[in-house]
Structure 1
Amino acid sequence: MRNLLCSTAFLLLLLLSACTPATSIQSEPAPGFALSTYRQFAFMEVKSDVENAGPDYQGHVHFLKQELTRQLEQRGLRQAPSEEQADLLINLGIVVDRQVQTRETDIISDPPRYIGQRRYTWQSKKVEVGRYSVGTVSVHLVDPVQNELVWQGTAERVISDKPEKLREQIEKGIEQLVGEIPT
């Protein structure tokens, strides 16, 4: 009995730790790339699918650019007045995907489904329990002289619907992402 209790507690702990939202970071530099070889950066134009963009989309893009600017300036780069004067261009990609969280009914706690004269069946089915958003930011650093991608990185996580919490998540995510850029 004790082993069963310990096993159940361990599985529950493992499940809870797997469900905690964390930022997934991926980074891929070009061979020989170092951020220290660049002095000025500029952002390329961000285009959006107007139909799917939320009301605060432009505000979030602006905040994302501010945070990237702050992080890159801490690493010694300056923002150029225009794309033509920059020796490093930043291309941003932003995707917010709405997801549906479901669970399956089970035999023990859910009542049977009645399908006709004395025919009770226990069929599991998926039940919606919530909705959430997954945000993905991709950052591409492009060398305009060689017209080549020199670094790409993505950050992905479940994002909050609350603006204050979302800004905090953006700050932490961009800090982690920029931390992956080779200096």
Structure 2
Amino acid sequence: MKTTLRFLSVTLVLVFVSCSSLQVSSEAANNADLKKYNFYTLAETEEGFLPNVNPTQKMQLVKAIEEQARALSTVKNNSGITGPDVLINYFVVVDTKQDLDTYTNYYGRRRWRYQITEVEVREYTQGTLIVDFIDAKTKEVIWHGSTTGVITANSIKLEQKINDAVKAIFDKYKKDQLL
């Protein structure tokens, strides 16, 4: 069972069950003026980064983040002149959770009664995508966003689910930027 769950967590990151919009939590630094940033790029990561994500899913995640960063940047191809204003760093956390349900059934007749209590244990894998926006000059986090969902075995929609999670985080950043 543990081998199956481990395989599931390694092969299926960020496949969220819910078709509704993803819930994103965010926090901006107290002194950060999110409106002053114009050029965003993905931070470089070390080899072996994200041990719970296979190379295909990492590539899909990087592609989705880079696409959203390009859409967010108001200055295009600025890295050769002054460098990026914001480095985007990301991380994925995969955890196994349990859900318990208890059912009690009563059976009986006139002179006797019988009670059955059943406990149903369901294990599931939960994935959290964390994205940090880091000021390239000061190296301080200016904005932090995350979204969490249940990972499922439906690998057909994996890329779409990753794109939805990344888009939800970037949409939240855009809303916070306007405030």
Query: TM-score of the superposition, structure 2-length normalised?
Result: 0.67
**Where do residues 73-88 of structure 1 align in structure 2 (5 Å cutoff)?**
73-76=70-73, 85-88=83-86
Q: How has the CA–CA distance of structure 1 residues 48 and 101 changed in structure 2, closer, same or farther, with 3 Å as cutoff?
A: farther
Give the secondary structure class of the aligned counterpart of 2:117. coil
Give the secondary structure class of the aligned counterpart of 1:106. strand
Q: Taking every aligned residue pair, what percent have the same amino acid on both sides?
A: 17
Q: How has the CA–CA distance of structure 1 residues 67 and 147 changed in structure 2, closer, same or farther, with 3 Å as cutoff?
A: same
Whether the 8 Å CA contact 1:41–1:79 is kept in 2: the answer is: no
* Aligned counterparts of 1:45 and 1:174: Cα–Cα separation in 2: 18
**Where do residues 91-110 of structure 1 align in structure 2 (5 Å cutoff)?**
91-108=89-106
Residue of structure 2 in register with 1:13 after alignment? none
Q: Structure 1: which 5+ runs fail to align? A: 1-19, 112-119
Displacement of 1:81: 7.0
Displacement of 1:125: 4.8
Higher alpha-carbon Rg? 1
* Aligned counterparts of 1:26 and 1:73: Cα–Cα separation in 2: 22
Displacement of 1:94: 0.3
Q: Structure 2: which 5+ runs fail to align? A: 1-16
Q: How has the CA–CA distance of structure 1 residues 94 and 107 changed in structure 2, closer, same or farther, with 3 Å as cutoff?
A: same
Letter in 1 for 2:102: E
Displacement of 1:164: 2.3
Whether the 8 Å CA contact 2:40–2:72 is kept in 1: the answer is: no
Query: TM-score of the superposition, structure 1-length normalised?
Result: 0.66
Whether the 8 Å CA contact 2:127–2:151 is kept in 1: the answer is: yes
Corresponding position: 1:180 with 2:172: yes
Letter in 1 for 2:151: I
Give the secondary structure class of the aligned counterpart of 1:124. strand
Displacement of 1:106: 1.0
* Aligned counterparts of 2:160 and 2:85: Cα–Cα separation in 1: 30
The C-alpha deviation readout for 1:34-65, integer Å capped at 9, x for no partner, is: 25523241323165474xx2xx5222122111
Residue of structure 1 in register with 2:143 after alignment? 151
Kindly report the root-mean-square deviation, in angstroms, between the aligned alpha carbons of the 2 structures: 3.2
* Aligned counterparts of 2:93 and 2:54: Cα–Cα separation in 1: 11
* Aligned counterparts of 1:162 and 1:41: Cα–Cα separation in 2: 31
Corresponding position: 1:27 with 2:19: no
Letter in 2 for 1:124: T
Give the secondary structure class of the aligned counterpart of 2:137. coil
How many pairs are equivalent? 149
The C-alpha deviation readout for 1:50-87, integer Å capped at 9, x for no partner, is: 4xx2xx522212211110111121222557779x9433
**Where do residues 1-183 of structure 1 align in structure 2 (5 Å cutoff)?**
21=18, 22=20, 23-30=22-29, 31-34=31-34, 37-45=37-45, 48=49, 50=51, 53=52, 57-76=54-73, 85-108=83-106, 122=115, 124-128=117-121, 130-181=122-173, 182=177
Q: How has the CA–CA distance of structure 1 residues 41 and 148 changed in structure 2, closer, same or farther, with 3 Å as cutoff?
A: same
